[in-house]
Amino acid sequence: NPNTVLLCAALLFGGLALMFGSVMLAKNFEKSSVGLRRLLYGTNAFLTGMLLLTVLGVVNVLAYVPMGKLDFFNRTFDFTASGLYSISESTQNFLSNLKEPVKVYVLLPGNNLITVETETLLETFKTHSKNITWSSVSRDLDAQELAKLQEKYQIPDSLGLLVVYGNDQKPVYDFIKYPDLYSIPQQDPRNPNADSGSFQFLGEAQLIKTMTFLSEGKSQTGVFFTQGNGELSIDDKNPGSVAGIGALYDETAKGNFKLDKITLDRNTKKIPQEADVLVMARPKFDPPPQAIDALRNYLRGTDGKKGHLLLLLDVEVEQLAGKKQVIPMPNLKVLLREFQVDVADDQIYNPLNERKPSI
């Protein structure tokens, strides 16, 4: 409380002023009494030391208390070479204009580089906005609190940042998963001598993006990529790869989308409600009936809301008895026909193009 700080500072300086005035009144007797002279000199040294400690103490306290024009003392000065305690000007402007309280729950492992970077960032955020608060929740030490958070906010993962925006009556929230907080570039196997870049902490961008959407009453669009039936791999990030879309996945993640993957197999009972759009990129095999039923319910909105499917198909062939024939994929095509989409096994091929056709 700034008023409490000012009152304490006034009492300290007032007490020192009274002691100093008492010393000045006794100064006329300095030459007549040896004992009084020693007392005056000792009191003077004590007052000087107390004045120094009081000034240092008040300045240090002001560094943690917002006091209008005295906020100069409440700033963070970053002298590190890497700018560890600095944030961008746009982030500073966003935080200074933040109207609603924001609580960030840090669900990260201890003694971890990402955890240290995140907590340092949140402390920096607090110096720019009094509406920012955060707390660390340990899976081992705070199991009960973690269980309450999971029940109240339906946390999709055990590691990450839970961002709650607004008051207790109508809060909106979102979750930033642990892998979204950093980036580790992969080495290009075709050029092992090339510089693959370095580790990047993405916490500032992810937090500001999430808080911006929550402050606007929006939420990120959930885009899920299917795997398990020969689809293009999102883990293959090699440039120019014809078997992976990892580079596309990473570029899409930079936008206002929440990306994830889902495996369609016999154990698939439903598509997560967070999936606003489902992307199935060039499956080579027909999904099993259980996965088809889950897709049907997802597209019809049986489980709550209607989803959207972005399906990229190619003419897949297989070698049987020395002959090539098209893989039928009856389950998937029957599902598509239910939604007035008829897929034929035709292929447009340019004989003048020597490259193997692909999507």
Of residues 198 and 175, the one with the higher pLDDT is 175
My answer on whether 343 and 235 are in the same domain is yes
State residue 359's pLDDT score. 44
Compute CA 311 distance to the chain's CA centroid, rounded to the nearest angstrom: 29
My answer on whether 298 and 197 are in the same domain is no
- What amino acid occupies position 270? K
Is 80 exceeded by the pLDDT of residue 220?
no
| Domain extent at residue 42 | 2-72
Domain boundary among 218, 233, 254: 218
Of residues 199 and 105, the one with the higher pLDDT is 105
CB 264 within 8 A of CB 225: no
My answer on whether 120 and 141 are in the same domain is yes
Tell me what the mean pLDDT of segment 244-260 comes to: 78
Of residues 99 and 30, the one with the higher pLDDT is 99
My answer on whether 196 and 326 are in the same domain is no
pTM: 0.49
Is 80 exceeded by the pLDDT of residue 342?
yes
My answer on whether 139 and 214 are in the same domain is yes
State residue 308's pLDDT score. 93
Is 60 exceeded by the pLDDT of residue 356?
no
Domain boundary among 218, 243, 260: 218
Instruction: List pLDDT tens digits, range 132-167.
Output: 999 999 888 888 898 888 888 777 777 899 999 987
My answer on whether 213 and 304 are in the same domain is no
Tell me what the mean pLDDT of segment 282-289 comes to: 90
Of residues 178 and 241, the one with the higher pLDDT is 178
Reference 292, options 263, 331, 327, 261; nearest CA is 331
My answer on whether 242 and 195 are in the same domain is no
State residue 335's pLDDT score. 92
pLDDT averaged over the chain? 80
Give the containing element (helix H, strand E) for 263: strand 257-263
Split into its structural domains, the chain has a count of: 3
The region of weakest confidence among 44-53, 182-191, 217-226, 233-242 is: 182-191
Domain boundary among 41, 72, 103: 72
State residue 218's pLDDT score. 64
My answer on whether 167 and 233 are in the same domain is no
Rank 20-24, 206-210, 319-323 by mean pLDDT and report only the highest.
206-210
My answer on whether 203 and 316 are in the same domain is no
State residue 135's pLDDT score. 93
CB 307 within 8 A of CB 271: yes
Reference 307, options 296, 323, 318, 315; nearest CA is 296
DSSP string, 264-311: -STT-----TT-SEEEEE--SSPPPHHHHHHHHHHHHTTTSS--EEEE
My answer on whether 230 and 214 are in the same domain is no
Of residues 157 and 208, the one with the higher pLDDT is 208
CATH number of the domain encompassing residue 180: 3.40.30
Tell me what the mean pLDDT of segment 4-30 comes to: 77
Instruction: List pLDDT tens digits, range 84-139.
Output: 557 888 898 999 898 889 999 999 988 888 999 999 899 989 888 889 999 999 88
My answer on whether 214 and 224 are in the same domain is no
My answer on whether 83 and 206 are in the same domain is yes
